[in-house]
Amino acid sequence: MSASLGNLVVSLSANTVAFNSAMDKAAYQTDKAMKQMKKDAEAVGAALGAMAVVGAGALAVMVKVHPSAMTGVD
């Protein structure tokens, strides 16, 4: 009986170590993925901001060159 109990304690201890190791790995991978998502979101935000600037510039040029385009009156 004591040998079985000893094996159980060793087995539980080994499983706990393996579980903690797996959790540490999962935490690392999650952190890495979150950093990549933040980097990607910042790049998308910068691209959208640049597109807005270009669109506003194009609209300003269109209004200056063709003022009637905004009113619909020729």
Say if CB 62 and CB 69 are below 8 A apart: yes
pLDDT tens digit sequence for 6-21: 777 788 888 898 999 9
Whether pTM exceeds 0.75: no
Cα(73)–Cα(62) distance, integer angstroms: 14
Cα(58)–Cα(46) distance, integer angstroms: 18
Q: Could you tell me the residue ranges of all domains in the chain?
A: 2-71
Check residues 63 and 23 and name the one with the higher pLDDT.
23
pLDDT tens digit sequence for 30-72: 999 999 999 999 999 999 999 999 999 998 888 887 766 666 6
Q: What is the pLDDT of residue 72?
A: 60
Q: What is the pLDDT of residue 69?
A: 61
